[in-house]
Structure 1
């Protein structure tokens, strides 16, 4: 197992290196640079001023040299300066990362708590009316556009009924009172969390149902039932553990989205998370911030894949090479 983990760490490091090169190259091919934006915003800057600024920031050098210089600084933990936020990249990323973790983590937890029991219940009565309803809801969850679902929830519960706020993280100046502090944050989380949970639970339902149906046909299930085990015990103590691998794979791959953020949902509900941050950094030619944010999302996806491997080893020791 130790050798396997070490091998995956080396592979992840190589993938991050290749991704950093590709992303930096693509951003280097974008028209314009930060100095060009500064010149366009300030008519007092002359062409000579622009040339001096480009020389100062190294923008007059080939992008390959700039990439190697950035890579050397990143290895030492120096991620650079965010031009858009006028602060170090780490300081600009930290609040957005926390906000995305809160939003996406809560949405994933809600989706799993609803989807897994629904998938298991549907698998125990295949072909029944309940199974057809669950399948219909799962297909609707996968098919509904996130932006449309978010807007519909906003229209109903924020605009028409006025029960919940339409967006943001907190009311301006809301410090005290019944909805102050944590209560105010929770109210603002209801609509975006519901949108993301409903949009994401369909795939969990489908995978859980299919995996449980596949395991129900195995010999060990029939043997356990023949020995007198109750159907509920067979499902929860035997069948579920073997059927968890496909669901674990989906959850692990979704870890990357926890850090890159749900751009559409964050935009619809004005939630200041990683998705909006990366989008604004790319559109504003903030190379350091965009590159670090994208690589962070890649690193979390790779970590999720590694955690899935470890979970496989725990769920089924036969998957671990001796």
Structure 2
């Protein structure tokens, strides 16, 4: 089964690289055209020579094959925009996005899961209606608007926090945490509603099953029924949702990173696509695809841990 999943993942990555490279190859202009536009002293003969030197005069399928051959040798290529190898250009952005997204995801789950459990414990109550209202508002509010409102209130009006950017890694850690507060809050508030609604629905669905009534009839305490039986099975759909969002987390929240000027993967991929930096854009998008596939595999492992029926199979 593991070998089969690995082969499927490799096939998906190969297909994704072919499609993305083809779409980028169909975009008007190439790096040499941009160089000509920036330097009027370059002649058409110079442009043809440069295209032949970089292989841009070949069909995009042939260029994709050469890129794939270099990838198999562990070489991601050279970034034209950043004038350095792709791996070196991606490493800082990947670290910044991982810090931002892991923090916001952890905060959202820490708030949303207890809210969903409490709401499911008293369906129809004032607490349940309040949680549903907050969750609906969280899902409905656009992330960019929420980010702008946080900047207006806490950065412009009150002056408590910086509006954007990121403190240097070697600088004051307190300053770096201050820069993280607003983007992390925006992403966490946007995700709390989704996770709370799914947690509540899953807990209510599990509460009506026969094994819950059997556990209560055997004398299990309410807390044991909740934690060892009901919650454990209700976490399965939450695991699925989180796993499917792993790729999106590591590709970066483009809107959030743009609003708060956070130098992460979202902005990096956007700049690479707009600047016709084939190597950087393709590597970033393939990394997002690989993280999505890895999230799916981790979800399978979580199912195996949470559900004894899957372990028996």
| TM-score of the two chains, using structure 2 as the length reference | 0.98
Change (3 A) 1:279 1:321: farther
1:255-277 deviations in whole A, cap 9, x for unaligned? Answer: 11221000000000000000000
Q: 1:198 aligns with which of 189, 197, 222?
A: 189
Unpaired runs of at least 5, structure 1: none
Partner residue, 1:59: 56
**1:138 to 2:135 alignment:** yes
| Post-superposition offset of 1:90 | 0.2
1:144-175 deviations in whole A, cap 9, x for unaligned? Answer: 1000000000000000000000000128xx97
Q: 1:310 aligns with which of 289, 298, 301?
A: 301
| Post-superposition offset of 1:321 | 7.2
SS at match of 1:59: coil
**1:103 to 2:94 alignment:** no
CA distance in 2, matches of 1:75, 1:202: 42
1:73-105 deviations in whole A, cap 9, x for unaligned? Answer: 011111100000000000000000000000000
Alignment of 1:4-43 (within 5 A): 4-43=1-40
1:9-34 deviations in whole A, cap 9, x for unaligned? Answer: 11000000000000000000000000
Partner residue, 1:156: 153
Number of equivalent positions: 313
Unpaired runs of at least 5, structure 2: none
CA distance in 1, matches of 2:250, 2:164: 20
Alignment of 1:170-185 (within 5 A): 170=167, 181-185=172-176
| Post-superposition offset of 1:316 | 1.1
Partner residue, 2:162: 165
CA distance in 1, matches of 2:232, 2:224: 12
**1:213 to 2:204 alignment:** yes
1:114-149 deviations in whole A, cap 9, x for unaligned? Answer: 000000110000111110110111111111100000
Partner residue, 2:83: 86
**1:287 to 2:284 alignment:** no
| TM-score of the two chains, using structure 1 as the length reference | 0.95
| Post-superposition offset of 1:319 | 2.7
Partner residue, 1:49: 46
Partner residue, 2:221: 230
CA distance in 1, matches of 2:54, 2:193: 48
CA distance in 1, matches of 2:224, 2:118: 14
